[in-house]
């Protein structure tokens, strides 16, 4: 079944790519799919800044560029970071007066805190071909919306603390999720020879999320507060355009 599905997907990609005319990207606006991988370094704002510091995000997506330089597609990202604020009070209901968790062996448990999350976005935008080597690239405006989720990952090497296993750990992770809107301004470069294709720019994300856990074990209460968070990021993309290059013509006399 997997091989059959993979074969169908490959055939669809080949069919889609074959639909795009063999035009010269140097002087023609072409329609083409753009597959890309992306990395962002993000700074938090709003409620997010109360819980986390800066984080990274990696992901990828697919954009379709039309012959009028419109863009539309989808993108997915995985967020991760190591800056968790107020971690000393996160487990206060199960710690000693000194702030330590005692594991099953009677020792202080080794605990590490991480930020984890993901997002899935639908995007659309416009290429403005200014200061560009060809009319298919330049300054790019993109907007989008989708779903986002984040939490605190509590890592106990060796899982020696039974207080933080299974569903017990979920009571402290402050999992939340909801809708997110995004906008970005970047510069996209598509070389005439297809050897170098990238974009770099600034991205802003506004998230409206709700807590997912029934009880916050840290307070013993149900967390019903809605969260409003922002992400301010510097974003870099490596792009693979799927257009067909114009074949060279040779004439013999």
pLDDT tens-place string over residues 108-154: 999 999 999 999 999 999 999 999 999 999 999 999 999 999 999 99
Token couple for 126 = 């416009």
User: What's the average model confidence in pLDDT over 71-92?
Assistant: 94
Residue pair 119/148 in contact (Cβ under 8 Å)? The answer is yes
**What is the distance between the alpha carbons of residues 56 and 150, in angstroms, rounded to a whole number?**
13
Rounding to the nearest 10 degrees, give the CA dihedral for residues 42, 48, 50, 56: -30
Most confident of 40-44, 166-170, 241-245: 40-44
- H or E segment at 90? helix 87-90
Domains of the chain in start order, with CATH, are 31-241 (2.40.160.20)
Q: How far apart are CA 159 and CA 165, in angstroms?
A: 7
Report pLDDT digits (tens) over 27-59: 889 999 999 999 999 999 999 999 999 999 999
Report pTM: 0.85
């Amino acid at each position: 079944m997997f091989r059959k599905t993979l074969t169908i997907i490959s055939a669809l990609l080949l069919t889609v790519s074959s639909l795009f005319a063999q035009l010269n990207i140097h002087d023609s606006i072409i329609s083409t799919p753009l597959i890309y991988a992306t990395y962002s370094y993000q700074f938090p704002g709003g409620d997010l800044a109360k819980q986390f510091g800066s984080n990274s995000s990696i992901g990828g997506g697919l954009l379709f560029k039309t012959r009028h330089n419109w863009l539309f597609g989808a993108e997915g990202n995985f967020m991760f970071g190591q800056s968790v604020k107020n971690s000393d009070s996160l487990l206060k209901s199960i710690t000693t007066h000194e702030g330590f968790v005692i594991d099953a062996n009677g020792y202080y448990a080794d605990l590490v805190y991480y930020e984890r999350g993901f997002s899935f976005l639908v995007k659309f935008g416009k290429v403005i071909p200014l200061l560009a080597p060809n009319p298919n690239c330049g300054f790019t405006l993109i907007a989008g919306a989708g779903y986002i989720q984040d939490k605190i990952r509590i890592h106990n090497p060796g899982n020696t603390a039974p207080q933080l296993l299974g569903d017990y750990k979920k009571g402290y992770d402050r999992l939340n999720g909801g809708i997110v809107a995004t906008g970005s301004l970047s510069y996209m470069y598509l070389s005439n020879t297809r050897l170098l294709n990238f974009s770099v720019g600034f991205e802003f994300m506004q998230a409206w999320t709700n807590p997912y856990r029934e009880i916050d074990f840290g307070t013993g209460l149900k967390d019903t507060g809605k969260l409003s968070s922002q992400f301010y990021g510097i974003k870099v993309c490596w792009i693979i355009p799927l257009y067909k290059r114009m074949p060279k013509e040779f004439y013999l006399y």
